[in-house]
Structure 1
Amino acid sequence: MASKKKRTDPDGMEMPPADAELSNEDDSGSDNSDMEVNEQVQVEFEARNPEDSDFGGIKTLLHQLFLKSNVDISELTDTLISQNYIGSVIKQCDIPEDDDDDDDMEDDDTIFGVISVVNLTERKDLKCVKSLKCQLLERCKQCSVDQVEKLNKLLDNEDSHVGFLISERFINIPPQIAVPMFDSLVKEMEKARRKNMKYDFKYYLMICKTYKLRPGKKNKAEEMFYSNSEEEFFKEISEMSFSYCVSDEHDTVVEGKWGEEGEMDSYRTVLVIPADKLDTALVKIKSALA
């Protein structure tokens, strides 16, 4: 399936075409049952501010990030919706009804992606924020003990606000969609700051879905791959980072096999990004995905 995305919102944000591919296999048991059919279909997406009806879709996307952690993703989802002047959700554009057969089809309210930022400093009393901080410090202690003190100071410094940057989408949605989404988010934060709202961050904290291939015949080095490929550019400008394995938490989004090289181990990579370097990363992302 090829996914084409182009949409202009009232602020002039245009989403460029982007490609994704899915394979459909014939399970009918016929002679052609072992043939792989690649089908390309044009699909248009739109980005808009989150609303109450998006709760289930946003929560599903957050669940694929947090898996079995004790972070209250319901409360986090409510928080994203409550600050709907910041961030966007991606949905499929409405398809005109051409005939009566469409009357039998259910409305597709699927949320394909979400982008937003939560002020961890201002919202420190929320249960989901408290548990997120505790989880990050515990994970950091387990895999990068020399960085725990620095991370703790960063999260506890009320004079330097930290924004939890969330950019989640389904794995078959292409990275090109990230460019207009981040552009829109940056503009929305600028508007909020002009209204003296607390979106003036010193750092951004980001949790990325990553994975490593287990050693096989051709791949020996444990190279880290990013499910959202553009996030590698955020890693380049990060001031601090660490990764922890979540394979035992059944990460169905990226688990599986890649060719014959061995199974994947799922990770989460935490990045601490200086806010004044965010634009640098976005310029590189735009150039790479142009």
Structure 2
Amino acid sequence: MASSKKKRVDEEEMEDDIDDDDVIDDDDDIESDSDDEQEAMDQEIQLDLEARTPDDSDFNGIRTLLQQVFLKAHINVSELADTIISQNYIGSVMKQPYSPEDDDDDDDDDDSDMTVLALTTVVNITERKNLDCVKQMKSMLSTKCNQCAKGQHEKFNKLLNDPDHHVGYLVSERFLNLPPTMAVPMFESLMKEMEKAKQKNMKYDFSHYLMVCKTFEMKAAHNVKQIMYSNSEEELFEEVADVCFKYSVAHERDSCVEKWSSEDGMEPFRNVIIFPADKLSVIVDKIKQEVGNT
């Protein structure tokens, strides 16, 4: 903007001194600059990613991804992160591999945590019912269900508190703008790991899975409300849900959500889904088809 304004001033002050060649050259420069900017915007950034089992160095990164879901809710996400790391035979984190070129003299020990880009795992909230984080999550979600979907409250509580039918909290979190293609291999790996665990008589034979999904609601034409999932593939899980309800987190919004809400008129929600465990592989196959991952 400043250079355009300066150009107009120069034209007014030196109108008699500018010949046709000068104008043509200047326009060519502007067009060239515009082409360069467009080319830079069209470039794709290639990320070299790797999936591996969670370990202690991933604690802060995992906690950050969990915090994206629960925001200011009174849930001990640190304990939940520790639990996920302790069962490192189940689930995986997606990270950007360490490169020596990235080293700086003032690097600290926590830099590795920031490379956690995605997390997929499952926590048995029936088996681990005595953990504070599990008690807090179940209590909070039960309250939200009673407030927002009273007709489903009894069924929701029955599913979550039946000791004979275990429920897994299915975590599939990644940073904004990472593609849904990442979800397919991570889900497939998770399903294989759970099968191996069940063969060893470990507690991963679930009747249902619980998901807490990040969504946004935006008013469209004629006051119709459109729901958008941050992780677009999660909408497929809602189609097979036994229980599904949503609650607003507008009063808990973080800086990213606040920007979206204020600029685009989006209100952030959390969609809670409980679906039968035998539907997981079916949905993963549908995700694979939709994202073209064969």
User: Under a length normalisation based on structure 1, what TM-score does the superposition of the two structures give?
Assistant: 0.82
Q: Find 2:249's aligned residue among 246, 250, 258.
A: 246
**SS of residue paired to 1:230:** helix
1:141 counterpart = 2:146: yes
1:201-212 counterparts in 2 under 5 A? 201-212=206-217
Give me the identity figure in percent. 52
**SS of residue paired to 2:93:** strand
The aligned counterpart of 1:56 is 60
The aligned counterpart of 2:22 is none
The aligned counterpart of 1:18 is none
**CA–CA distance in 1 between the matches of 2:52 and 2:167?**
25
1:63-212 counterparts in 2 under 5 A? 63-95=67-99, 97=101, 106=107, 109=112, 110-212=115-217
**CA–CA distance in 2 between the matches of 1:258 and 1:245?**
12
Q: Larger helix proportion, structure 1 or 2?
A: 2
**CA–CA distance in 1 between the matches of 2:149 and 2:255?**
26
Alpha-carbon offset, residue 220 of structure 1: 3.1
Moved more, 103-112 or 63-72: 103-112
Alpha-carbon offset, residue 253 of structure 1: 3.8
CA offsets per residue over residues 211-255 of structure 1, 9 Å max, x none?
Answer: 11145xx47311111000010111111111000000110133444
Q: Contact 1:213–1:219 (CA<8 Å) still a contact in 2?
A: no
Q: Contact 2:261–2:268 (CA<8 Å) still a contact in 1?
A: no
CA offsets per residue over residues 142-194 of structure 1, 9 Å max, x none?
Answer: 00011111111111100000000001110121111000000000000000000
Q: Contact 1:255–1:263 (CA<8 Å) still a contact in 2?
A: no
Moved more, 108-117 or 119-128: 108-117
**CA–CA distance in 1 between the matches of 2:219 and 2:146?**
24
**CA–CA distance in 1 between the matches of 2:255 and 2:261?**
14
**CA–CA distance in 1 between the matches of 2:124 and 2:196?**
16
Residue type matched to 1:221 in 2?
Answer: V
Q: Find 1:225's aligned residue among 203, 228, 233.
A: 228
Q: Which runs of 5+ in 1 are unaligned?
A: 1-27
CA offsets per residue over residues 191-220 of structure 1, 9 Å max, x none?
Answer: 0000000000000000000011145xx473
The aligned counterpart of 2:265 is 263
Q: Contact 2:219–2:226 (CA<8 Å) still a contact in 1?
A: no
User: How many residues of Structure 1 are paired with residues of Structure 2 in the alignment?
Assistant: 257
The aligned counterpart of 2:281 is 279
Q: Contact 1:210–1:269 (CA<8 Å) still a contact in 2?
A: yes
